[in-house]
Structure 1
């Protein structure tokens, strides 16, 4: 298939849909026109885009957990608990790993084993196997919008079933759910698969149904410089907008330095609107989501709450529209529902305490914002040049050339040459630029910041700094200082 950033022709889309819906028996239960009618009778309180718009107008930062288990009744009970006890403003349905890789037979086996064991034997909810009616039971069991969270390079059938099931938000993208999640999936394929997902969302939109789309912001989650995640999020927003998506929530994963994180959130929506307007996609609703620390966590629950609360402080002061909440059991594996609710409560307490406070636009904050703008524009403009005006083609070529390079990604289609490390204040900088298209001014800024840390620690900047930084939070620090 030839990849091009062009809205899919409806005749072509319908033909592809027939193949997608026939790929697993539950796909035959999707009736698109009936699904549109179902969405139209949902109350506004259950529609993600509408609630996000209200929160944006009122300056509210919403809190959302991660959660998903194998058995339908247990999944519903879990979500109700997080809503009622945790106070979640939005709810997730995290999809299991088999479904993410389109291995529905293994997911079916996981459901059967879970029933036999009386507990979840999968790390999420196998929505494709359950089908449309079961998804609607989830949506109808709670009072707030529910989002599909997964990590699927080919999410076409998952999107068909969950959207028909009444979910009003679908996370992911052809880059953000490929490069950090898959080793061998060609970028051309995953971007094309996600054009289908976005065309489906666009079709709902054309028929009066608002579905929110949320590219996955944190990528590999550890030490990802803001300009890298910004560039990916904005490209995915542009690709989605071409297919008719009108509501976009762009994400960013916490790095840990307050000024850098606040600068990142403030510039993300600004840059997205700049590029969307520049390329003819005006009128989109742009909101932001902040992911609390995605790296290693302390095993001690009290220390873990410290990490969670720091993420909540940053989310509040950045005036982000939504924050994805972690739990005090992150270091131990899948959390209990009580731990999940505890993370929500701690986060919402901090959000409420700081809702009337703001971070002044200091010179330090202004500098961070300006550097993020320069770096992100450099990556995006070079990507567009490589694609000869086509964002989809440009994205593939940019990854091949290392113009976009995600640190620590498993994908063979990611060059993997850049190295991030923290500076002396804990902001994430570039130790090695790889093939990023940065000018001398940007490079000198990062080199001096890293050198400053080296002088403080009396050591030469090296790969050891990167290793130290990866493990630092789990050891109770932000910057990985030598002992």
Structure 2
């Protein structure tokens, strides 16, 4: 956490930093306000350090507001909470019983154009959210990157101008979760720092930095340590913390595999001194989880984290740190406006997300999982980090890609004696789940 006093830093950022132990958080979002209220109550009352979440539905996050309103009028269950269809008054009433200085609530959305969502969010009394001009454009939309950057500039300025009792608004960059998997840590770290600097340039003062668990725990630790080093260098004068995401790719199908992967992410967060963890549930491979399954995931993650003490951080995190710093410096050289620099960097291929099909992404870079389970560059395209890629590019077939996408599922399902993949992968005893309380 940066050396900025906690007072006056908003409910969400100050409460996460002030808990003293890992804060675990679900992604819950239900279209019915009564069900959403029940979910928030269940999380608040669980015997864990947590914060609340309201996750929006796909119609609202993609701007299909009329469709969202129509479905609400029909009583159709949606895959999240339709904030604008319900309106600020309904949402304000929904969250009225929660003391957000103790149990703050974050709005999660997934929108490349969030301005209208943020206006409604603030009107409803919620002052924490997430996303970013790159991280919520390239994976989730076909909006031109330049349009997303412009929208996020005015959206950040809206958040920065808020002067209510829970100010300043907290904003989490999703830059460490690009595509959920198969994005090497140096690029995840660089995108985190660049989006955070974009937020700061447009007035945001309370920030969190994300990192999605990948395929090798040691490499993930190095990635998070590099992220903390660069945040310390670049984010002076603002409050920040780190949030780890339980693996966001193809999830284990077996109960033991799912709980083992969740426990591994909790231990990763605790070992790296990260302040918050976004959890996943045993239902992740099949359907939207219930309130009870979300609460179970929170309890299991908290139990796994309690048995893990933070490890000693290293000032030099190796190639990940150096490559990420190179990417950040190269992008910042493109323009004094960080938004314009990001657009220019993607146009020139100086930033290039592997396997991302957005029209503004060069899609010339490629990543592979090596024999130790580490994510490595097979090709860096035009990015200025060729020195950190193998001397000879690896050829990646469709079968190779499918195998890599299923790597963690096969590895963690192998822990289940009755699962067909029992002999696949090589998990260790440290990856087995802590029994849930």
Q: Work out whether the TM-score is over 0.5.
A: yes
The residue number in structure 1 matching 2:17 is 53
For residue 146 of structure 1, report the CA deviation from its aligned partner: 0.5
Q: Find the aligned partners of 2:15 and 2:8 in 1 and give their Cα distance.
A: 7
For residue 45 of structure 1, report the CA deviation from its aligned partner: 12
The alpha-carbon distance between structure 1 residues 71 and 410, as it changes in their structure 2 partners (threshold 3 A), is farther
The alpha-carbon distance between structure 1 residues 86 and 194, as it changes in their structure 2 partners (threshold 3 A), is farther
1:236 maps to 2:171: no
The residue number in structure 2 matching 1:423 is 370
Q: Find the aligned partners of 1:235 and 1:46 in 2 and give their Cα distance.
A: 23
Kept in 1: contact 2:107–2:126 (CA 8 A)? yes
CA RMSD of aligned residues (A): 2.7
Q: Find the aligned partners of 2:70 and 2:48 in 1 and give their Cα distance.
A: 33
1:135 maps to 2:91: yes
Give the counterpart of 2:153 among 195, 215, 218. Answer: 195
The residue number in structure 2 matching 1:98 is 59
The alpha-carbon distance between structure 1 residues 478 and 314, as it changes in their structure 2 partners (threshold 3 A), is farther
- Give the gaps of 5 or more residues in structure 1: 1-42, 115-119, 277-281, 451-459
Runs (4+) of structure 1 exceeding 6 A deviation are: 43-46, 478-483
The residue number in structure 1 matching 2:408 is 473
SS of the residue 1:148 aligns to: strand
1:377 maps to 2:325: yes
Kept in 1: contact 2:13–2:240 (CA 8 A)? no
The residue number in structure 2 matching 1:391 is 338
Return the TM-score normalized by structure 1: 0.79
Bigger helix fraction: 1
The residue number in structure 2 matching 1:185 is 143
For residues 460-482 of structure 1, the C-alpha deviation after alignment (integer angstroms, 9 at most, x for no partner) is 76445443221122223599989
1:121 maps to 2:77: yes
SS of the residue 1:93 aligns to: strand
Kept in 2: contact 1:254–1:290 (CA 8 A)? yes
For residues 27-50 of structure 1, the C-alpha deviation after alignment (integer angstroms, 9 at most, x for no partner) is xxxxxxxxxxxxxxxx99991022
Number of residue pairs matched by the alignment: 407
Kept in 2: contact 1:472–1:478 (CA 8 A)? no
Q: Find the aligned partners of 2:17 and 2:302 in 1 and give their Cα distance.
A: 19
The residue number in structure 1 matching 2:36 is 75
Kept in 2: contact 1:316–1:351 (CA 8 A)? yes
Q: Find the aligned partners of 2:37 and 2:165 in 1 and give their Cα distance.
A: 29
Kept in 2: contact 1:269–1:286 (CA 8 A)? no
The alpha-carbon distance between structure 1 residues 359 and 137, as it changes in their structure 2 partners (threshold 3 A), is same
Kept in 2: contact 1:66–1:324 (CA 8 A)? yes
Q: Find the aligned partners of 2:288 and 2:49 in 1 and give their Cα distance.
A: 18
SS of the residue 1:434 aligns to: coil
1:402 maps to 2:366: no
The alpha-carbon distance between structure 1 residues 482 and 330, as it changes in their structure 2 partners (threshold 3 A), is closer
For residues 407-435 of structure 1, the C-alpha deviation after alignment (integer angstroms, 9 at most, x for no partner) is 23241111111111122221211112122
Q: Find the aligned partners of 2:396 and 2:52 in 1 and give their Cα distance.
A: 42
Q: Find the aligned partners of 2:145 and 2:343 in 1 and give their Cα distance.
A: 6
For residue 202 of structure 1, report the CA deviation from its aligned partner: 1.1
Pairing 1:203-352 to 2, within 5 Å after superposition: 203-204=161-162, 209-216=167-174, 217-276=176-235, 282-352=236-306
- Give the gaps of 5 or more residues in structure 2: 1-6, 415-420, 427-437
